[in-house]
Amino acid sequence: MAEDREGMVVYWRPGCPYCMKLRLRLRFSGLTYTEVNIWRNPDAAAFVRSVADGNETVPTVAVAGHALVNPSKREVVRAVTEHAPHLLPK
C-alpha cells in the first residue's frame, strides 16, 4: 500500500463518483496498479488522511511513494512517467 515505493496504489471508497471516473479511466490506460478501498482498510484510510490534510479525500493515488490527492488521469500518468516509468504499458 502506502509503503509500496515501486508501484502505484489507487485509494478509493464506494459511492465516490470521482473515484469511479478515475478508476474507469485508469483501467483503460494499461498502467499497472493496485486498488484499495479505504473503508475496508484502516491503514489505507490513515495514509489518505496523512496526505490530505486530515481528510479522507479520494481518489488519492500513491505513485512510488509520491501522493496525489484527487488527481486527473493526466496527473497520474505524469507522476508515473517521472517516478515509476516501469509501470507504463509496453
Query: What pLDDT shows up at residue 21?
Result: 97
List the chain domain ranges. 8-83
Query: 8-83 maps to which CATH number?
Result: 3.40.30.10
Whether the per-residue pLDDT at 1 is higher than 90: the answer is no
Q: Write out pLDDT tens, residues 15-69.
A: 999 999 999 999 999 999 999 999 999 999 999 999 999 999 999 999 999 999 9
Note if the pTM is more than 0.75.
yes
pLDDT at 5: 73
* Burial readout 39-61 (b: 16 or more C-beta within 10 A, e: otherwise): eeeeebbebbeebbeeebbbbbb
